[in-house]
Amino acid sequence: MSTTTRAVLFDEAHPLRLSTGAELAPVEVAYETYGELDADRANAVVVCHALTGDAHAAGDGGWWSTLVGPGRPIDTDRYFVICANLLGGCSGTTGPSSTDLKTGAAYGLRFPLLHMRDLVAVHRALVAHLGIDRLHAAVGGSLGGMQVLQWALDHPGEIERAVLICASARLTAMNTGFTAAARAAIMRDPDFHDGDYAAHGTAPRTGLVVARMMAHLTYMSEEALRRKFDRERRVTDARMAFDDDFEVEHYLTHQGEVFPERFDALSYLYLTRVMDYFAPFEDPRLDLAAVDTAFQVLSFDTDWRFGTEHSQYLAAQLRAGGVAVDDEEIASPWGHDSFLLDVSEYHAAVARFLAAPAPASHVAGTPPSAD
């Protein structure tokens, strides 16, 4: 069991230079580690969280305790596991609701816009800070998988194995439509105050509740909702009302209501925007020939947030550059949320990929650099 550590990785003298050219300092990072680092520092695994996650991946209440822990697929008896809160987040790492030391107030919308590369830069700095040169693996689900992909594409030599679970390399118009509706709910909330809600002693709670109710539906499958709730009602008489009568309403309301207690509206805006703009295979600087990471790309058959077609596109782009990809669609009724759940075929696939000798990162006979 780990407790969260905070480290200032960039300061005024050594600011974080963002992909837009802007500079940010200080940048503090909240992280946890599990297990022990080997003497040769070769057993480190970074796990990257999704949109609303945090550094507490494993142990009691850990968001990925199904996957990470002693004897789990990411076995902390074997690997030294690192999990950090994202840049732009709200659980200990610097983000738009952090205090801008220049003004003494929260950044708000004056916080610089972020690219996936900036999130990677902070995690790389943490790995260096921990004295690690090369990761046995980096593993991420959803936004976390997207971050791992950017890292592996940009920094050969640093990640031996990358596991991308229900990730995407190119959001669809439907995906961006849903994040746009969520952002509209937040930014049109009168308590948003152009992002300066902290100065007004308030927060766009209503907007966050509605955004979460809507987003939560995209994380579940029709089948999951049917199994959990179907058309079950809470009142058994014939009363019809606008308060929560169907169990699915009650559940969504609960998910919405608890969300503002643990997540910040500005982080929601910044991190969803990072995903909207993420399109690494359209980047002219991409050099797939240099990539030396072996990829496992997993998707779930009932996921309609980032379904198998997203993973197929991602895998096809890698393969077109000669990169070795082990991809698999896992059957699971639980939709996008499956990556957080104990789905045995999925867990077995991750355990197998992590434990196997490092596969060749390029398909034999087709190194793109030799073409």
- List the one residue from 62, 73, 256, 260 that touches its own copies (CB under 8 A): 256
Out of 303, 337, 338, 361, the active site residue is 303
Please report whether residue 249 would count as binding its own copies according to CB under 8 A. yes
- For residue 254, the tally of other CB atoms under 10 A from its CB is 13
Shortest distance, position 314 Cβ to its own copies, whole Å: 15
The residue within the footprint of its own copies, chosen from 177, 320, 342, 366 (CB under 8 A), is 177
Total of residues contacting its own copies (CB under 8 A): 52
- Is-catalytic flag, 332? no
Q: Is 171 in the site for its own copies (CB under 8 A)?
A: yes
CA angle 260, 264, 270 (to 5 degrees): 140
In the complex, the smallest distance separating the C-beta of residue 291 from its own copies, rounded to whole angstroms, is 24
Active site (annotated) includes residue 191: no
In the bound state with its own copies, the residue whose beta carbon lies nearer, of 279 and 358, is 279
Q: Which of 2, 91, 97, 142 is catalytic?
A: 142
- Quick check: 345 and 358 in contact, CB under 8 A? no
In angstroms and rounded to an integer, the radius of gyration of the C-alpha atoms of the chain is: 21
Among 38, 276, 287, 345, binds its own copies (CB under 8 A): 276
180 binds its own copies (CB under 8 A): yes
Binding-site string for its own copies from residue 125 to residue 164, where x marks contact by CB under 8 A and - marks none? ----------------------------------------
Which helix (H) or strand (E) element contains residue 83? strand 80-84
Residue 254 as a binder of its own copies (CB under 8 A): the answer is no
Contact 231, 188 (CB under 8 A): no
What is the dihedral angle through the alpha carbons of 329, 330, 336, 340, rounded to the nearest 10 degrees?
Answer: -130
CA 368/CA 371 separation, integer angstroms: 5
Supply the minimum distance, in Å, between the C-beta of residue 323 and its own copies: 23
Of positions 42, 109, 198, 288, contacts its own copies by CB under 8 A? 109
Q: What does the per-residue mask of binding to its own copies show for 207-246, with x meaning CB under 8 A?
A: --xx--xx--x--x-x--xx-xxxx------x-xxx-x-x
Q: Are 80 and 176 in contact (CB under 8 A)?
A: no
Query: Which tokens belong to 240?
Result: 């019809």
Q: Which residue among 336, 338, 361, 362 is the active-site one?
A: 336
User: By CB under 8 A, which span of 30-38, 161-169, 180-188, 336-344 interacts with its own copies?
Assistant: 180-188
Closer CB to its own copies, 229 or 292, in the complex: 229
Minimum CB distance to its own copies, residue 363 (Å): 29
Where are the strands (E) in 170-324, listed by range? 294-300
Closest CB to its own copies among residues 39, 173: 173
Name the nearest CA neighbour of 74 among 297, 347, 325: 347
Q: Residue 277 and residue 280: Cα distance in Å, rounded? A: 9
C-alpha–C-alpha distance, residues 84 and 29, integer Å: 7
Rounded Cα distance between 142 and 165, Å, is 6
Single-letter amino acid code for the residue at 112: P
Please say which residue, 257 or 292, places its beta carbon nearer to its own copies: 257
CB-nearer residue toward its own copies: 242 or 261 = 242
Peptide bond into 112 cis (omega under 30): no
Q: How far is CA 177 from CA 45, 166, 180, 183, in A?
A: 34, 19, 5, 10
347 contacts: CB under 8 Å, gap ≥ 6 = 66, 67, 72, 73
Which residues form the interface with its own copies (CB under 8 A)?
20, 109, 113, 115, 170-174, 176-178, 180-181, 183-185, 187-190, 206, 209-210, 213-214, 217, 220, 222, 225-226, 228-231, 238, 240-242, 244, 246-249, 252-253, 256, 269, 273, 276-277, 279
> Which residues are designated catalytic?
142, 303, 336
